[in-house]
Amino acid sequence: MTAAFEVLEKDIGGRVGKLKIGDKTIRTPALLPVINPHFQVIPPKMMASWGVEAIITNAYIFSRSEEYREKTLIKGLHDVLDFPGVIMTDSGSFQLSVYGDVEVTNAMTLSFQEKIGSDIIVPLDIPTSPDAEYNVAENDLEITLSRIKEGISILPDSATLAAPVQGGRFLDLRKKAAENVDSLDLTICPIGAVVPLMESYRYLDLVSIVKAAKSGLSQSRCVHLFGAGHPAMFALAVAMGCDLFDSAAYALYAKDGRYLTPHGSYHLADLREFICPCRVCSSHAPEELLKSLDKEKLLAEHNLLVTIAEIKRVRQAVTDGVLWELLDERCRSHPSLLSAYREFIRTDKSIYKSEAVSKRRFFYKGSEHCARSEVIRYHSMLERFSIDEKVLITFDKKGDRDDGSVFFFKPPFGPYPPELRETFPIGQSEIPTWDEDMVRTGAKGLKILIQNNPDSKFTIRCDGNWKTMIEEEISPYRANYEII
């Protein structure tokens, strides 16, 4: 079976693409709901009717189940689960790392997954705990890599073998793991052992780990974030370059009476209204659902429907070039997500390089947006403008040929020639009332222009309110400008 990943659209570090597994194709970013054959509240076929193109289940459960083992070996996974789309099987590494089991080997799980007709096979990787020490993480990583290689050598067809990136909390190990995995030329590369981080809201650590792993993987790898199923984090994970997610959250939260939304979860008992338009919420009131015998099933349905909707929303945002706006909204729903978002904006500039140069709009939503990719790109463009010896920078948009090169000013970008007024990002940016951060960032743009044109003399006609701030930024070049 072949595996190929094609990127169609990009925004920030996020991609909309197509993952082809044999003759099946799924759109990415994709959500793979986790299926437990013993406790399946929503039939996979019903999920397919909601737009689910791939699911994930646990080979370990099948191999241990009296009810399912033989049946699945004979009929195959797709028949038993009644799902025609892509089925990924996990090796159960995670369960083994928690419960321990000496009887399962890498070779056993690989050949079992192959025999039951899995579309994406996962080796018995070792999910190193984020608390583990360096030497443990390093050793686990070696074992994981050797098991991936063993998979390549023993599977008759290893193109759809997933190659997990481990390395615990150590960023150099994550990067090394990713580089090693990348060299094996397998299409699907999951980032593993991040569940404990997400469970304890350590999104800041998650950002560093994903960044380190991504830095070692080529753009053509389809990256799965193992165990990430909460819709509030999809925008961030996609912005960092993750393409596949698996959700057990929809079912686990339902079991616990919790109601998922893309901006956090609620206890059903705390809700007075269902504002969600899904089929469950539009036909029940919270107190009714709370008393229903089908509570868990109905709640799981709602949880999965909102999770699917969020994946679609993220895909649409990438297509429209408005992922920054969605990201901003989502990451304000939890303080740890906000910290992670700020860390992501602050440090990761390299991933911007591949995004679209022109987008539908730029909607400034607060000071974090001063560091958006579009601002960074615009500032690097300012280094290359060719201008006259005489330059007028005017905030009032009035200037003529006698003034030399004329630039208007739009924060957070900075100076722009009037010809660019209709082009992205100047033209398509929606900027509310100017605030200090955006003007300061615009002033940094101005500084770049002055700095790169030492032979030009600048006259800056700026609004009195901002004069001091502009001057603070550009004062090292005092000899080259006057502010009027």
Instruction: Between 236 and 309, name the residue whose CB sits nearer to ligand GUN.
Output: 236
CA dihedral 83, 85, 88, 89 (to 10 degrees): 20
Picked from ligand GUN, Zn ion, none, the partner binding residue 90 (CB below 5 to 8 A depending on kind) is ligand GUN
Report CA-CA distances (Å) from 87 to 175, 246, 394.
28, 12, 60
Candidates 62, 226, 259, 413; binder of ligand GUN (CB under 6 A) is 226
Least separation in angstroms between CB 103 and Zn ion: 42
**Closest separation between CB of residue 58 and ligand GUN, Å?**
9
Q: CA geometry: angle at 259 spanning 257 and 261, to 5°?
A: 165
Q: Which of residues 126-185 bind ligand GUN (CB under 6 A)?
A: 127, 164
Nearest approach in angstroms of CB 157 to ligand GUN is 20
195 part of the interface to ligand GUN, by CB under 6 A: yes
Residue 192 near ligand GUN by CB under 6 A: yes
Shortest spacing between CB 32 and ligand GUN, in angstroms: 11
Instruction: List, as one string, the DSSP characters of 230-275.
Output: -GGGHHHHHHTT--EEEE-HHHHHHHTTEEEETTEEEEGGG-S---
193 makes contact with ligand GUN (CB under 6 A): yes
Which one of Zn ion, ligand GUN, none interacts with residue 281, CB within 5 to 8 A by kind? Zn ion
Which distant-in-sequence residues (6+ apart) come within 8 Å of 183 by Cβ?
none
Q: How far apart are CA 442 and CA 413, in angstroms?
A: 5
Distance of closest approach, residue 300 Cβ to ligand GUN, in angstroms: 20
The region that residue 76 occupies, defined by phi over 0 for left and psi between -120 and 50 for alpha, beta otherwise, is left
The smaller minimum CB distance to ligand GUN, of residues 242 and 327, is found at 242
Site for Zn ion, rule CB under 5 A = 276, 278, 280-281, 302
CA distances from 61 to 67, 233, 289 (A): 10, 28, 31
**Binds ligand GUN by CB under 6 A, chosen from 83, 94, 413, 424:** 94
Report the partner that residue 302 touches, choosing among ligand GUN, Zn ion, none (CB closer than 5 to 8 A by kind).
Zn ion
Which CB atom, from 118 or from 261, has the smaller least distance to ligand GUN? 118
Query: Is 90 among the catalytic positions?
Result: yes
What whole-number distance in Å separates Cα of residue 245 and Cα of residue 78?
20
The answer to whether the bond into 454 is cis (omega within 30° of 0) is no
* Residue 278 interface partner, choices ligand GUN, Zn ion, none, CB cut-off 5-8 Å depending on type: Zn ion
Return the range that interacts with ligand GUN (CB under 6 A); candidates 105-113, 189-197, 271-279, 431-439. 189-197
Report if residue 91 touches ligand GUN, rule: CB under 6 A.
Answer: yes
DSSP secondary structure, 151-197, as one string: HHHHSS--TTB---B--TT-HHHHHHHHHHHHHTT-SEEEE-S-HHH
The greatest distance separating any two alpha carbons of the chain, rounded to the nearest whole angstrom, comes to 88
122 binds, among Zn ion, ligand GUN, none (CB under 5 to 8 A by kind): ligand GUN
CB 271 within 8 A of CB 259: yes
Contact 14, 245 (CB under 8 A): no
Residue 226 backbone dihedrals phi, psi, to 5 degrees? -60, 125
Q: Which residues share a beta bridge with 16?
A: 9
Report in angstroms how near the CB of residue 434 gets to ligand GUN at its nearest. Answer: 46
Total site size for ligand GUN, rule CB under 6 A: 13
Nearer to ligand GUN (CB atom), residue 143 or residue 338: 143
> Catalytic one among 23, 79, 82, 90?
90
- The span from the CA of 205 to the CA of 209, in Å, is 6
Residue nearest ligand GUN, CB atom distance? 192
Give CA–CA dist 424/241, Å, rounded. Answer: 23
Residue 21 or 305: the one with the smaller Cβ distance to ligand GUN is 21
CB of 230 to Zn ion, least distance (A): 16
Stretch that binds ligand GUN, among 9-17, 89-97, 201-209, 262-270 (CB under 6 A): 89-97
Residues with a catalytic annotation lie at: 90
Binding stretches for ligand GUN (CB under 6 A): 90-91, 93-94, 122, 125, 127, 164, 192-193, 195, 226-227
